[in-house]
Structure 1
Amino acid sequence: MISIETTIFNKKFSNCLMNASGVKCMTIEELSNLKNSESGTWITKSCTLSPREGNPSPRYVDLKLGSINSMGLPNLGFEFYLDYVLTEHEMGNDNLFFSIAGLTLENNIKMLTQIENSDFQGLVELNLSCPNIPGKPQTGYDFERTEEVLKKVFSFYTKPLGVKLPPYFDMVHFEMIAEIINKYPIQFVTCINSIGNALYIEDESVVIKPKSGFGGLGGAYVKPTALANVRMFYKLLRKNISIIGCGGVETGRDVFEHILCGASMVQVGTQLMKDDVKIFSKLSSDLKEIMKSKNYTSLSDFKGKLKEL
């Protein structure tokens, strides 16, 4: 028997696969499709305090080796997703993830306060990979701001919480952000979000409308960066902080490599956009075949055991 079960915090999941927040998880219909799929769990759309329409279209384009997007955080607003996860709680499901991405620290505090005082018993993902103040970098790239956010959050928040991070490229930056995260009772880290400010051209023109064509890059283009981030955080963070890998997952081999680098769960974004929820069945089947060929019976047999030359 080959098992791809996994655990984050004190919650057990039937398999290690889930959607990336932002992909096919905005409406009730999309969330229901995820719930009824063969993913191990699912996460809501990263939400803001108030509903947002997002950027003008075209704002997402599939590319040969991935995708580019500048969505602008379209979502139905915090109250919509809070009602959704509380309804799931009433049905006995406390294994889903609730993603929030306030445009200001004050908005994040307001949302987390409501979650803290609610009956929600799932896992919250605080998205630190979105701009917070015009003219300022993403929170995850502003180390002083990240520390300020986490200090204020954990001054009152007691439920299981993780953070979604942008991709890092410099070894010193890995060490700096890991040092901050290790100070707080964070349960998981999701890495990576898309690689920001890429530019893709076809027929002498950019392919997306917002930001003069600059957008976040996803898919196979970003897998080496995603694996590097998973590996570095697995090595630098406390062992009771789980890693959720995200980036470049198209096949079971990609899932296998994320886990080999240290991921406990693996999110799917671009390929979910391309193939819809049937991708989870294919990925789990492919992963089990790889494990069988290598005589692995569970994820713990190879999780984090990447060999070094």
Structure 2
Amino acid sequence: MLTTNFLNFDFSNPFMNASGVHCMTINELDALAASTAGAYIMKSATPAKRTGNPEPRYYDVPLGSINSMGLPNYGFAYYLEYALNQQEKTERPVFFSVAGMSVSENIAMLKELQASDFQGITELNLSCPNVPGKPQVAYDFELTDETLAQVFTFFTKPLGVKLPPYFDMAHFDQMAEILNKYPLTYVNSINSIGNGLYIDTKRDQVVIKPKGGFGGIGGEYVKPTALANVRAFYTRLKPEIKIIGTGGILSGQDAYEHLLCGATMLQVGTQLQKEGPAIFDRLITELAAIMKDKGYHTIDEFRGKLKIIE
């Protein structure tokens, strides 16, 4: 019922973790592999191991979360070794996330992946730092175009990009025009809404230490923005570029809405952090119940078929 075809592979369901959540260590990755999630993605890798920002750097808030993690991870080689081992054990494609601290770091890691025996799917995080005083790469349209042009001079394996949220119709149009120029496998939308602030009212104090308390917002807060971005790109990108919907998925109903807007796969972040991998059992049950109630036997019967008011 929930089978999802993505990159010519039939996943048992569309659910996966969002990169950065429950995927940093081998033990966490093994727990995802053993869960009912249709797929999973590894922690975003930088060339070398990073400890990340000082703690506290993640905080659960009533309607979601705020974080400024600073890309803590065990380094590119750690995750590549795991990915190569996993692809020998299963036919299910492995998702590998690359998020260097600069464009040059991303290019270097993608070249290593291209030269390796990795046969899975790569996600390039364009919601990453650029140069001081400049916006992240995906908010710099010219740099995004230049980066993808450079990547596709050598990278021939399946590649998707993770994008931050956009808030203007003109920006949807501009980014879609750039993305449509390249042989991308998918677009993952959205990353967290950047630079939010949450206050502990008992202490009159911010709740995370880095950046004076500023951090990315996830969870229930971001669902309307996530749905808008999924829909905007689904209606603008060429059909061969699939959408992974991320942001505000707490229930089967949230998942259904992402699929209705045009997503093919779904990533869960904040709520996975709160509940652990058992969340996938609940989401699968809830989504299947909604589909049964509406008379759908497959996701493709309703995916992308959001109605508008004429």
Shorter-chain TM-score tier:
over 0.9
Q: Distance in 2 between matches of 1:54 and 1:220?
A: 25
Give 1:216's aligned residue.
Answer: 216
Change (3 A) 1:94 1:107: farther
RMSD of Structure 2 on Structure 1 (CA): 0.8
Contact 2:206 2:212 in 1 (8 A): yes
- Report SS of the residue matched to 1:236: coil
Contact 2:102 2:128 in 1 (8 A): no
Give 2:15's aligned residue.
Answer: 17
Query: How far apart are 1:133 and its partner, in Å?
Result: 2.1
Letter in 2 for 1:76: Y
1:100-122 deviation line (CA, Å, top 9, x unaligned):
00112221111111111111111
1:253-304 deviation line (CA, Å, top 9, x unaligned):
0000000000001100000000000000000000000000000000001000
Contact 2:2 2:13 in 1 (8 A): yes
- Report SS of the residue matched to 2:235: helix
2:270 counterpart of 1:278: no
Letter in 2 for 1:66: G
Match of 1:68 among 66, 69, 72: 66
Give 1:291's aligned residue.
Answer: 291
Letter in 1 for 2:24: M
Q: Distance in 1 between matches of 2:32 and 2:121?
A: 17
Contact 2:22 2:29 in 1 (8 A): yes
Q: Distance in 2 between matches of 1:170 and 1:237?
A: 16
Match of 1:152 among 142, 147, 150: 150
Letter in 2 for 1:231: R
Contact 1:88 1:94 in 2 (8 A): no
Give 1:107's aligned residue.
Answer: 105
Contact 1:48 1:100 in 2 (8 A): yes
Q: Distance in 1 between matches of 2:91 and 2:74?
A: 21
Q: Distance in 1 between matches of 2:238 and 2:160?
A: 13
Q: Distance in 2 between matches of 1:236 and 1:220?
A: 25
Q: Distance in 1 between matches of 2:101 and 2:251?
A: 34
Question: What 5-or-longer segments of structure 2 have no aligned partner?
Answer: none
Give 1:89's aligned residue.
Answer: 87
Q: Distance in 2 between matches of 1:93 and 1:205?
A: 49
Q: Distance in 2 between matches of 1:205 and 1:185?
A: 46
Give 1:173's aligned residue.
Answer: 171
Letter in 1 for 2:95: F
- Report SS of the residue matched to 2:300: helix
Contact 1:94 1:120 in 2 (8 A): no
Give 2:138's aligned residue.
Answer: 140
Q: Distance in 1 between matches of 2:54 and 2:242?
A: 36
Letter in 1 for 2:289: E
Deviates more, 1:124-133 or 1:58-67: 124-133
2:2 counterpart of 1:4: yes
Give 2:181's aligned residue.
Answer: 183
Query: How far apart are 1:94 and its partner, in Å?
Result: 4.6
2:228 counterpart of 1:253: no
Contact 2:99 2:124 in 1 (8 A): yes
Q: Distance in 1 between matches of 2:281 and 2:90?
A: 24
Task: State, as a whole percentage, how many aligned pairs show the same letter.
Answer: 59
Q: Distance in 1 between matches of 2:48 and 2:16?
A: 26
Aligned structure 1 segments of 4 or more residues deviating by more than 6 angstroms:
none
Contact 2:87 2:94 in 1 (8 A): no
Q: Distance in 1 between matches of 2:187 and 2:46?
A: 20
Contact 1:220 1:248 in 2 (8 A): yes
Query: How far apart are 1:96 and its partner, in Å?
Result: 1.6
Aligned residues between the structures: 307
Give 1:195's aligned residue.
Answer: 193
Q: Distance in 1 between matches of 2:76 and 2:90?
A: 21
Q: Distance in 2 between matches of 1:57 and 1:121?
A: 36
Change (3 A) 1:73 1:192: same
Contact 1:47 1:101 in 2 (8 A): yes
2:28 counterpart of 1:37: no
Contact 1:103 1:133 in 2 (8 A): no
Question: What 5-or-longer segments of structure 1 have no aligned partner?
Answer: none
Give 2:226's aligned residue.
Answer: 226
Query: How far apart are 1:8 and its partner, in Å?
Result: 1.8
TM-score normalized with structure 1 length? 0.98
Contact 2:165 2:190 in 1 (8 A): yes
Query: How far apart are 1:10 and its partner, in Å?
Result: 1.9
